Structure 1
Amino acid sequence: MMQIVPTIDISSISNDDIKAIKEACIDHGFFKIKGHGLNTLIDKMWQQAETFFKASRPFKQSLRRPKDGAFGYFDSELTQHKRDIKEVFDYAPKAVPLFDDSSKPYWPDNKNNQLVINGLNDFQGTLNQFYIAQTKLAQQLMEILCQTLGEPPETLNKLFGDLQTSTARLNHYPSEDPIPENERDNNIALNDVALGAHTDPSAITLLLQDDIGGLQAYSAEHKWIDVTPEKYCFIINIGDIVQVWSNGRYKAAIHRVVKVPVGKARFSIPFFYMPQSEAVIKPIISGEKNKFREFLWSEYIKKRIADNYEKTGDKDMQVTDFMFKSRV
């Protein structure tokens, strides 16, 4: 019986694996991978993530993402205009001008012995090493996705390269609101789940989740399904622009995180693989009429994430906004 969310050993991909990924992308957009060779680095990342979020609130607030920046600590992210029950640390090894207009540094320094005091001596080094490893893995996965669409593996490589705009994140989902009551914005409602249902704008997301679980995907056939954790497995979900590249054959993965049980804490580590700023996004399927009009990645992503950080009142942009109207 085919697994609803298949686990694929990417050290030796078979034709059956290609078929399983294709079926998953048609139905819900999730699959898992093992055989990537990153287990030791994954252990180091879990240690860094847990240590960071256990640090004092003043320390984390000193790294708070500025209004005109995309990186650093944040505890007020919105999904569909409601605040999620989580705190995050966003980063990239180098500047990504598409997202970050701020010159404020977001990596913790050690001028007052902060890193040693908080147990984060190798924080930046470990996270950057992991980012580089995930970038290589993501390219391999995109080549596999091209194969599932019947296109040459290298079809999309030129849209990424050294100028790709990928970002990475550490997530902490506590069971209770991470913001003290006296600091909350009472004009913004709290989500009734830890993370509201959404799609990722990226090409693909590589996610590690701990053994607490809670991630759910929306399946066309089975409705909401659990994406259960497997040790050392990356969970892969396809994003908005894969829906375009596939000419609508694949649907961007709708997913959410349910509330964490009282007294527990959930950690996850996502990597969002994204093309270079000036990449033109359009279908790649040979011999078909395009169902989507082309658009620039930079224009789409800016509009897509505009209301993640503050309540704008505008309707969220969706990739389906770029579909051609039905033709008779």
Structure 2
Amino acid sequence: MNSIPLIDFLHLKSNDLDIQNHAIQKLDRACREVGFFYLVNTSIEKSEVNGLMSSAKAFFALPQSEKEAIDIKHSSNHRGYGKIGEEQLNEVNQADWKETFDMALDFPADHPLVKKYPGMYGANQYPQQSDIVEALQAYYVSAFEVSQVVLSSMAQALNLEANFFTRCFKDHVTVLRMIHYPPRPEVDHSNGAGAHTDYGCITLLLQDDIGGLQVKNVKGEWVDATPMKESLIVNIGDLMQRWTNDEYVSTAHRVISPESGVHRYSFPFFVEPDYETNVECIDSCRTENNPAKYDPILSGDWIQSRFDATYAYRETE
């Protein structure tokens, strides 16, 4: 992998089947060979992107006490604010030098799924500022629509029905996260986010122009995922790799903390299906000589196990 491929979202949606099929084939190669690609010409309005960026700067500039009033530790379903050092993505490295805010779909307390899976379903913890909440919700809706087109294209690339993946998103646990990477302290702390793979199906990442994201290529070298204006970076997650029997690769990546005086903001959109989605090897991804490598697992069980491994507050004695 010398570079990260570029996919045109409009081509994936094109009514011209030749254009659409060419884009789907290009996406398929990117998923197999790299696990990352840039996505351009999406349907997300620039005003929504700007609103989200402004909201992140406003939220993370709030007094620490106000942010910690919605600390993720207060949430049974992993929603709210995560302070610096709360998460450690690389389990053998130092804690991440970042602060976060997580939200997903709101489910009322009396919803059957909340009662059954309280660790994944429930209400969000929102900041008090209504304009920040509105910006988060607007971007969530738009990013989700983009994700469903990408998943439909992946299904077609794998010779499946177009709705093979998207049908699993009725009561999904897709998470929008805001991340603030403060300038690293004088004592070296370049570990903005430790080397890791993502847990879900795919991730749609919006990032500012600061840079710092690096992707590990097949030679084991770290390659910069340089910010590209008006684009998203899409990567394969662990669930999709399991589903496709390693045909689609969940690639390791990390974030280097900004230099002194620089703040970085990014917005991963973790596309994760319904908790009870049975992730089992796709028929088109296994043969007699290449049998299924993974046992079937419920999507939610997998994701919750990864939360437990990377967040100190979820560890049990």
2:172 to 164, 171, 179: 164
**Identity of counterpart residues, as a percentage?**
30
1:273 to 271, 274, 283: 271
**Alignment correspondent of 1:145:** 154
- TM-score by structure 2 length? 0.83
Q: Please show how residues 245-284 of structure 1 align to structure 2 within 5 Å.
A: 245-284=243-282
Q: What does residue 186 of structure 1 align with?
A: none
How much does 1:147 deviate? Answer: 2.4
Paired residues of 2:106 and 2:122 also in contact (CA < 8 A): no
Equivalent position of 1:86 in the other structure: 98
RMSD (CA atoms) = 2.6
- Once the two structures are superposed, what CA deviation does each residue of 1:99-157 show, in whole Å capped at 9, x if it has no partner? 64798862123xxxxx3xxxxx4111111121111111111111111223233322222
Q: Distance in 2 between matches of 1:201 and 1:27?
A: 19
Q: Residue 206 of structure 1: SS of its match in structure 2?
A: strand
How far apart, CA to CA, are the structure 1 residues paired with 2:147 and 2:294? Answer: 24
- Which consecutive unaligned segments of at least 5 residues does structure 1 have? 110-114, 116-120, 178-189, 315-328
Kept in 1, the 8 Å contact 2:7–2:23? The answer is yes
C-alpha spacing 1:55/1:104, structure 2 compared with 1 (3 Å): same
- Give unpaired runs (5+ residues) of structure 2: 13-18, 108-112
Q: Which amino acid aligns with 2:196?
A: H
The aligned counterpart of 2:80 is 72
2:7 is aligned to 8
Conserved 8 A contact 2:104-2:124? no
Q: Is the 8 A contact 1:77 1:308 kept in 2?
A: yes
Q: How far 1:292 sits from its partner (Å)?
A: 2.0
Q: Write out per-residue CA displacement over residues 164-195 of structure 1, whole angstroms, 9 at most, x where no aligned residue.
A: 11111100001135xxxxxxxxxxxx964110
Q: 1:174 aligns with which of 163, 175, 182?
A: 182
The code of the aligned residue for 1:123 comes to I
Q: 1:101 to 1:240 in 2, by over 3 A?
A: closer
For residues 295 and 123 of structure 2, what CA distance do their matches in structure 1 show?
Answer: 37
CA distance in 1, matches of 2:301, 2:124: 25
Give me the whole-angstrom Cα distance separating, in 1, the residues matched to 2:132 and 2:174. 19
Q: Distance in 1 between matches of 2:315 and 2:299?
A: 23
Q: Distance in 2 between matches of 1:313 and 1:71?
A: 16
Relative to structure 1, is the Cα distance of residues 256 and 149 closer, same or farther in structure 2, using a 3 angstrom cutoff?
same
Residues 1:25 and 2:35 are matched in the alignment? no
Structure 2 counterpart of 1:107, one-letter code: Y
More helix by share: 2
- Structure 1 contact 243–252 (Cα < 8 Å) conserved: yes
Aligned residues: 291
Cross-structure match for 1:301 = 303
TM-score, scaled relative to structure 1: 0.81
- Structure 2 letter corresponding to 1:70: H
Farther off after superposition, 14-23 or 46-55? 14-23
**One-letter amino acid of the structure 2 residue matched with residue 31 of structure 1:** F
Q: Do the aligned partners of 1:71 and 1:90 also contact (CA within 8 Å) in 2?
A: yes
What SS is found at the alignment partner of 1:305?
helix
Give the residue type in structure 2 aligned to 1:106: Q
